[in-house]
Amino acid sequence: MPFIRTTTNKIVSDVDAKTIKAELGAAISLVSGKAECYLMLSIEDGVKMAYQGDMDTPCAMVEVQLLGKADPRELDDLTGAITKTLGTVLGISADRVYVNYLEFEHWGVSGHNV
């Protein structure tokens, strides 16, 4: 049950949001046991953000939440896929994208914890 929240100062069109959804949906399978059919996504665009004191150049913060522990090499691959997607779709340079990972022991869905 992964969740990926992308926050950016760029405005994201509906077409670009659907492309990001599709590409991150495919990329989540880089992490063992994770699949698009369980992925929830959030894209928060047009946020007032600054990186290195610069509010005008596109940047993004991506938060990936996972149930359980993941292999660090798989997370490295996922980070590469995320930054590639944001670069290709939104034109955000990889060096202006932060990706962090939160791994949880407990996760609730459908009225109970798994």
Predicted local distance difference test score (pLDDT) of residue 98:
98
Answer yes or no: are the C-beta atoms of 68 and 33 closer than 8 Å: yes
> What domains are defined for the chain?
3-108 (3.30.429.10)
Radius of gyration of the chain (CA): 14
Q: At residue 107, what is the residue type?
A: W
| Residues in the chain with pLDDT values less than 70 | none
What pTM did the predictor assign? 0.95
Answer yes or no: are the C-beta atoms of 106 and 113 closer than 8 Å: yes
pLDDT tens digits for 88-99?
999 999 999 999
Of 1, 42, 22, 5, the closest CA to residue 89 belongs to 22
